[in-house]
Amino acid sequence: MMAEKAGVTKLDVSVLNAEQQEKLRQFKIKTRIDNERYLRSHPEVDVLIGDFLRDVLHKRPADIREFAADHFSNPNLQETILPKMEGNSDMN
């Protein structure tokens, strides 16, 4: 399997006892809720990710890591994103 070659393996939660499985389930739920709260309170994340993905799909860079580093370290990023944020404010 390709994922295993990259160092990612499927977790076998059956090795956990019932209490551990329940704690894991509760942790996952809490994490999702926390993530959703964060994203709702920071709409700029949606704009940043959308803008980045649009650029990736448009430009199709050979080195995605270098492209991402350049994209997010761009000193003009704020000036690029702010008008898009204002354009999205009527959607919220």
Structure tokens at 51: 């803008």
Report yes or no on 72 lying in a domain.
yes
What is the average pLDDT across 11-40?
91
Q: How many structural domains are present in the chain?
A: 1
Alpha carbon 75 to its chain's center? 21
CB 59 within 8 A of CB 67: yes
Residue span of the structural domain in which 71 resides:
36-92
Residue 64: in which H helix or E strand, if any? Answer: helix 64-72
44-60 confidence digits (pLDDT tens): 999 999 999 999 999 99
List C-alpha distances in Å: 81 to 23, 50, 52, 73, 75: 39, 10, 10, 13, 12
58-91 confidence digits (pLDDT tens): 999 999 999 999 999 999 988 888 888 876 654 4
**pLDDT tops 90 at residue 8:** no
pTM score of the predicted model: 0.61
Report yes or no on 71 lying in a domain.
yes
Report yes or no on 10 lying in a domain.
no
